[in-house]
Structure formats: C-alpha cells, structure tokens
Structure 1
C-alpha cells in the first residue's frame, strides 16, 4: 500500500518552506490588523451566542490556526460569525441557561458534532454537497439573521434586562411592552457609539472602526460617572490560554437531540467559508481544493470543541482585509490568532470597561454590514425564482427557529431547481412526414411525464428526437421512451433518436436487449 503524500496529511508543507523573511514580516503586520478587527467582533459574537466574552477570543485562536494551516485557501480567515452565533444561541438556549456551564458545554458539544459532520463530508469528498445551499439562501438567511440579532440587541441598547424570545416578532413585542422602562443614559451612550461607528465607517473605512467606537464609548462612561455610572459593563474574565474542555460524548440522547442543529449550522459554515474562499480565489488566481477546505473546517471545529472555541467559519471582513492588506500566505491568519492570544493573556482586564449599550451598538453596526444590498439587487434582476427563495428564507428566519429556516431555504431552492429541470427546453418542427423534437436537457424521472405528453401530441408518421443535448437518461426515461416507441409501432409509426450520445444509446438498449429495442437510432 503506497504511503500517503505528506502534503495531504500536512498541506501547510506545500507553502510554508517557500516563505521569506520579507513575506513573514508582511504577514505578521497583516495579522496584527486582522487581530485588531477580530477583537471587538469576537467579543460581540460571543455575547450574541449567549457566551461569556472570552469564548469569542478562544474561538479566534485554535480554530483559526488549524483552518489556516490545513485549509486550501491562501487568504480565507475563519473565526466566530454573527449568523452562526445566533443559530447556536437559538439551538441551545431552550436547553440550558445562556452563560451557564451547562450551556457552554452544550455549545462546545454542538461545535464538535458540526466539525465531525464537516470532516466526514471532506473525507468522503462530498465538498460539492454545499452547492445545494444556493447563494440566494445564504443572502436571505443572513438578512433575516441581521434583523433577529439587531432586535435581540435593542434591549441592551435601551438598558433593559429582558428574557430572550423565540422569534423576532416576540422580541419586538416585548420591547414595545417595556417602552416605559427605557434607560435614557444607556440609550444616549449606545446611540453615541453607533453614530461614531457609522461616521468612522464612511470617513475612514480601513480603520478599526468598531474598536475605536468601543474605546470612545468606554471613555465617555469613565469620564461622566454621574451620568453613566449605573450603566452595565461587559463581564470581566481572567486572562489565560484557551482551556481544555472535555465533552460529554457518552450522552447519546443529547447528541441525537443536537444532531439536526449540528448538520444545519455545519452546512451554513461550509457554504459561508467556501463562498468567501471562491470569491477571493478569483482575485488571487488561486486554484482551490474544496474537499481539503471542508476537511480543514471540520478539523478546526473538532479542535475548537475541545479547546473552548465555539463554531467558526469564514469571515468576509477579516478575509477581505487580509487580501487588501497584501497577505502573502495563510501565515497572516496564523499571526492573527497569535496576536489575539496575546490580548487574551494580557489585555483581558480592559474588557470590563466596555459598557453594554456600546457593545450593543457595535453589534448593530455588524448587523448593518451583514446585509448584502448589492447581492439582493442582483438576485432580483437576474432571477425572480431565486428572489422568491431568498425572500422565503428571510421570512422563515424571522418566524421559525434559525436552523429550520436554513432547511426551508434549501428545500425551496430544490423545489425551483426540480421545477426547472422537469420541463427541459424543447423545440418542435415538422419536416415532411417527420415530427421533430429537439430536447435540451436530461430525461429523468422528473421530466419523463412532460416529454411523454409532448410526444403523444405529435401526429407525424415518424417521430424524431434530436438527442445531441441529452446528457443523461435514467430508468424512468428509458421506460417512457420504450413505451412510446411500442405505442407508435402499434400504430404503424416509428420513434427515432438522432445524434444520441453513446452512453444514452447504451442505457436505452439495456432494457430489452439491443435486438428487441423498439427505438431506432440515427447518427
């Protein structure tokens, strides 16, 4: 048995020896920029997920290191994301109190299960399976998730302590019902942070606007204690490396209960990561290995489950920054994780100075950036069916549990896909005693009835199917054509296939043998 290629087991060996002192120095500086962007985002995403803030930093360390070293993309950088954070919250909050040790354990168990699912897809070379989640589903889900996250953060912006609601509508109603309890200093501080963030985002978009806005909000709360002294702060934590977290793997009932959510969030993470990696590869002219990338995502989340890093996926903002800043290799992501590690060790005490309303404002800024306005307009212009899929996914995200919304979007995509393929393009004309059909598409179970109805409407002595564009035919298609050929034969007429591909001819001759096949073939 041949020994496996070492680059298959350790893919980073294909690019790591090629690094120079200049490229390493460049990647280290790009990694520092990525870490500055990742710090406020990771903390905010952890709060969205119902976790203590340090778990956002942990998710930006070990999972990022593994995804960069074992992945295929040169520029994809992973970490916690807003959409995945809220799916995790929606999946686990009914089972345990957010922030509790049981809640953390279940989040990490779900992360591990999703990682195993992703890794198995990669090992079985099913990386193309993520293509069944269309881009319109991702756009619609992200739009709905942005609304859900924003509504969930409004109580923090207003200084309210409200229990979480299952749907966006209930969150809005609860907020309106407590309108008399809004805290004005909290609202002023939150809106001020939001305004600063918006202004900086448009004036200096390349600056770490989230970090600056949070720093200014914290400074304002510190300078005016008489006004903002009662405003809640983010919980502090002791600086340390990501701790090892043993998982309750023997609890089979809980594993089975979490499995549907693990599959949904695992697929969402893969679709997000591969979409970002493909868009970046077009700029860098890099050839991606989808299965290697899927395996790397799985490995990163398996390891994350054991080292306190909840589920991670590709980050468009951090990956885009990596490309624009001139990253030379995945070392930029590795350095980013190392810089975040230093902050987790030595800068943890700074977290306790961040006011909750300012953090809520930063999350609202993130939600605004999640909405793909250009993509929404493009989907509307290109395909009304895809726009319906996007809208249904968004609506399901607002009304249903988030993992159910993903499944609803996938089912809607498959419905429209099958609807299109069940009616292949057919051109029809008369040539003397011949009725000719040109079929552009496969003849499979979904399209057989449609083509049979078209064939039975023809009155020519000879019925000819121009079959050059038929790439595939299944058992249902073979049976249908045999039935039509027998029917025409009984009426003294014939059915011919012209220009059929060899594999299509072979399938048609298998049913009754080449000698008894009622269909005639022309080259």
Structure 2
C-alpha cells in the first residue's frame, strides 16, 4: 500500500473526503472556473496561441497537478509570465497562431515537464532556491511590461509587430500608432472600466468575466458602429484534442534553453505559492512531490493539447479564501472549465479581442507586487540592484535569458558577500584576535590572508567559533600563514574551532604542522 501511495499519492487523502467536503469543493471549483475561463484564454493570446489552447491548459494539467501534488489549495494553469516566455521563445521560429507554432509550444511544454519531473525524481527541487525572490520580482515586473507592449496592438486595433525583445516590439508599435482603430479602443476601454467597477463593488467577483460579457454585448448591440472590431477566432470544440508530438532534433536543440527556463520559472512560482498557502493553513508540504506533480502535468498535458502550466497566484488565493477543503476543489475547477468551455464554445467566439487585451492589462497591473518592491528597496540595495538588472534584462534580452541573467546576478552578489566574511578584530596583551564569522573557503582565502598579513601581534589568534566550514584551499592558506609567522618568531592559533572544522583540518593537513589548535 505504501508503494501504491507513492505512485498515486492522492490515495492517501481521497478516502477521507466526506460528502460535506465534496459539496464545498464543488462550489469552490465553480468559482475558480469562472475566474479561469477568461484568464486562460487571455494567457493563450499572450503566448501567441489560439484562445482555446488556454482552456486546454486549464483542464488536464490542472487535474494532474492537484491529484499528484502535496498542496491542498494550490491550483495551476497557464500563467502570464510563462505565456510571455513561450511567445518570445517560439515567435522567431514560427508565425504566432500557426500550426507549426502550436507544435513547438507543445514540444517545449513536454521538454520543460521532463526537466521538472527529473528534478523531482532526483530530489533536486532545492535547485529552484537559486532563483531568488528579487529575481522573481524583477522578472514579473519586466514580464508585465512585455505583456502590455504585446497587447496594445489588440487594444488599439492595429496589426501586431515586433518579434523579439520588448524594445523592438515597442519601436514597431510606435510607428503604427497613427493607424489605431477608434472603435476597438472604445470597446477595450469600456471593458476595462466595467471590470474595474465590478472589482471595486464586488471584491471577489468575476470582474474579468463581467468585462468580457459587457464588451461582447456592446459589440452585439451596435453592429454598425463596431463592425470592424476583431473577435476571438472560431473553433469547433473546446474539448482538448489528441496531439501527437513531433520530436525533431533541431527543434529540440532550439527550444531546450527556453524549456529549462520555463521549467525553473514554473517550479519557483509554484513552490512559492504552495509554501505561502501552507504557511497560512498550517499544512505539511512535500516540495519534491510538488515538483514531480508539476513535471507530470506538463509531461502528459501536451498529448491532449495542454501547454505549459504552473501555480496561479489568483486562482490559488481564491481557492483558499473560498474555503476549499481538499485538492478536489482544483480538480472540480478543471472539470467545470471543460463543461463551461463546451457549453459556451459558440459564445466565446463573440468576445472582442480589444476586451481580452483590456482584461490582460488589468492582470498585468495585479501581477506587479508593489508592497514587496517597496520593502525590497528599503531593505537591501544589493537585492534591489539584482531586481533592476533582471527587469532590464527582460526588456533588452529574450525573456527566457532574463531568468539566467537574474540568477547570475544573484550568485555574483552572494559570492561577493561570502568572499568577504565579517571579521571582528581586537588586541589584548601579546595577542591579536580575529573573530571570523563565515566560512574559510577558496573564495574568502585572499581576503582573510591579507587581514592576517597586516597583524603585528606575537600570537595571531583566529576565533573560529562562528566558522561552519573550511575547504582544502582554506586549510592550505592557514598552514601557509602559520609557517610565515613561525619564520618571524610568531605563531598562528586557531581557537574555539568546531569539531567539524577540526576534523577537516586533520583530514586535509594531517596531525603535523605549525598551526596551533586551542579549545
């Protein structure tokens, strides 16, 4: 049974679900589906896909992630940031919305899912911790700007242009501004204002859905005025069709860097949401199980036309606030999306694209975590610089490369900080004491050696009470300094070293040597 639960983890909690839990989760799932329906279609358009592919990504991948994950409340699906990365990675390879573009999107999703699943299988989920919170803040801010630039052509009713960086897209848009379509802009503004009014009067209401319905009704009621407004392309059925992936080696080579970036971004986002929800509800969380669940959802999803999915801030928050009892709330949400999509497939094609763009602009505004940005700016200048560098990278580089740039910036500042550990210095009688608060490793050797070379005491004492680790380079440096001081008639003493540090010194240098070790 234990082996079966590892294979099918939902068997651990499913038998304990009561009828009352089922009724509650069914209602919560409906609320989530109402929110997911317009959001998912909007994210598909951001990714350069037909609108129905957003619905496909909100069905099977969500169902799998909820059943195989460890969080009670997290609900996934397509997200804004990942949709932008999908678009910027694939747009140079195929025209957005084309059959080739869709095939590349599904292949990229499979590769990202494989990467995620392998990380979970090898219990390497801890790797996502290298993407710091400041990198995520900078990336989401930059992604919001990229999304806005990409959606303005739909809002203004002009032909979209500029594939590549945000700046090139903005430049292409600038030259086409005089061609904007007034009726399209009016429809978009009407939908945006209506959504804002609903959001103000009904905080948890389906503001995006009301805005889309209102704009659709306006276009339908005044066909002569709004005849030229573009609408969502028609599709036969919203049920996910079977998709056979084509494993072309050249395409895999081109998509692999973006797939790794998408996989990392999806995992960091999902785990951040899951941890925040777990802290609020005091539930245990298995990070590696969550990583495997996200990978499995993206491995299986593409075979039924589901593009990349990850944890959703808005849907997960709504799920917990509405009182979801079990992960079945997310499962029911996916099933409700499927039912609503099939029943309302003919109605979806009446939605104006400017209204969808207006809804996306509202999503972008909510995407920016303004309180965290203010706290980061007040708390740490170095982390603020990492955030700004990541933000700049999202505008100047292809978006998937911005994640790598942010991670490298974070690692640079971390290594700079650890290479100069805090050292307190004082003298008493014939001793000069250096209390080291950090690790003695290859990166810090030069800094510590220069401090020791400036000492003038008969006995140079290194207080190692706060040293947790010493490597071979650190041990060699200490032994070298001990010999130098001995040649000058002085001595080097290591005091208050922890057993682990002592053991490492003995292993690296043996029992001999002129370095004195004291308790």
TM-score with structure 1 length normalisation? 0.97
Q: Are 2:102 and 1:76 equivalent residues in the alignment?
A: no
Q: Are 2:264 and 1:267 equivalent residues in the alignment?
A: yes
Per-residue CA deviation, residues 95-141 of structure 1 (Å, 9 max, x unaligned), is 11111111111100000000000111111111111010001111111
Secondary structure of the corresponding residue to residue 311 of structure 1: coil
Q: Could you tell me which residue of structure 2 aligns to residue 462 of structure 1?
A: 459
Q: 1:383 offset after TM fit, Å? A: 0.7
Q: In 2, distance between residues paired with 1:309 and 1:281?
A: 27
Q: 1:15 offset after TM fit, Å? A: 1.2
Q: Structure 2 matches for 1:224-263, cutoff 5 A?
A: 224-249=222-247, 251-263=248-260
Q: In 2, distance between residues paired with 1:257 and 1:296?
A: 26
Q: Could you tell me which residue of structure 1 aligns to residue 301 of structure 2?
A: 304
Secondary structure of the corresponding residue to residue 426 of structure 2: strand
Q: In 2, distance between residues paired with 1:508 and 1:438?
A: 18
Q: Could you tell me which residue of structure 2 aligns to residue 487 of structure 1?
A: 484
Q: Could you tell me which residue of structure 2 aligns to residue 519 of structure 1?
A: 515
Q: 1:170 offset after TM fit, Å? A: 2.4
Of 50, 53, 58, the match for 1:52 = 50
Q: In 1, distance between residues paired with 2:270 and 2:48?
A: 23
Per-residue CA deviation, residues 315-364 of structure 1 (Å, 9 max, x unaligned), is 00000001100000111000000101112322111111101111111111
Q: In 2, distance between residues paired with 1:370 and 1:456?
A: 52
For these two proteins, the number of residue pairs brought into alignment is: 519
Q: Could you tell me which residue of structure 2 aligns to residue 14 of structure 1?
A: 12
Q: Are 2:392 and 1:395 equivalent residues in the alignment?
A: yes
Q: 1:490 offset after TM fit, Å? A: 1.5
2:161 touches 2:172 (CA, 8 Å); kept in 1?
A: no
Q: 1:163 offset after TM fit, Å? A: 2.5
Change (3 A) 1:496 1:374: same
Q: Are 2:492 and 1:476 equivalent residues in the alignment?
A: no
1:57 touches 1:340 (CA, 8 Å); kept in 2?
A: yes
Q: 1:4 offset after TM fit, Å? A: 5.8
Q: Structure 2 matches for 1:212-223, cutoff 5 A?
A: 212-223=210-221
Of 278, 281, 285, the match for 1:281 = 278
- Which sections of structure 1, spanning at least 5 residues, go unmatched? none
Change (3 A) 1:512 1:472: closer
Of 343, 368, 373, the match for 2:340 = 343
Q: Are 2:377 and 1:380 equivalent residues in the alignment?
A: yes
- Please, what is the CA RMSD of the aligned residues? 1.1
Q: In 2, distance between residues paired with 1:168 and 1:259?
A: 22
Moved more, 482-491 or 32-41: 482-491
Q: Are 2:99 and 1:101 equivalent residues in the alignment?
A: yes
Per-residue CA deviation, residues 142-200 of structure 1 (Å, 9 max, x unaligned), is 10110111111111111101323322222222222122211111111111111111222
Q: In 2, distance between residues paired with 1:476 and 1:41?
A: 54
1:193 touches 1:217 (CA, 8 Å); kept in 2?
A: yes
Q: Structure 2 matches for 1:34-45, cutoff 5 A?
A: 34-45=32-43
Q: Could you tell me which residue of structure 2 aligns to residue 359 of structure 1?
A: 356
Q: Could you tell me which residue of structure 2 aligns to residue 90 of structure 1?
A: 88
Secondary structure of the corresponding residue to residue 465 of structure 2: coil
Q: In 2, distance between residues paired with 1:20 and 1:124?
A: 35
Q: In 2, distance between residues paired with 1:244 and 1:188?
A: 39
Q: 1:203 offset after TM fit, Å? A: 2.3
Moved more, 113-122 or 491-500: 491-500
Q: Could you tell me which residue of structure 2 aligns to residue 448 of structure 1?
A: 445
Q: In 1, distance between residues paired with 2:118 and 2:514?
A: 45
Moved more, 233-242 or 353-362: 233-242
Secondary structure of the corresponding residue to residue 455 of structure 2: coil
2:162 touches 2:172 (CA, 8 Å); kept in 1?
A: no
Per-residue CA deviation, residues 9-65 of structure 1 (Å, 9 max, x unaligned), is 111111111110001110110000000000000000001101111110000011101
Secondary structure of the corresponding residue to residue 211 of structure 2: helix
1:239 touches 1:346 (CA, 8 Å); kept in 2?
A: no
Q: In 2, distance between residues paired with 1:392 and 1:413?
A: 10
Q: Are 2:189 and 1:191 equivalent residues in the alignment?
A: yes
Q: Could you tell me which residue of structure 1 aligns to residue 168 of structure 2?
A: 170
Secondary structure of the corresponding residue to residue 353 of structure 1: coil
2:445 touches 2:473 (CA, 8 Å); kept in 1?
A: yes
Q: In 2, distance between residues paired with 1:170 and 1:13?
A: 51
After TM superposition, which residue ranges in structure 1, 4 or more long, deviate above 4 angstroms? none
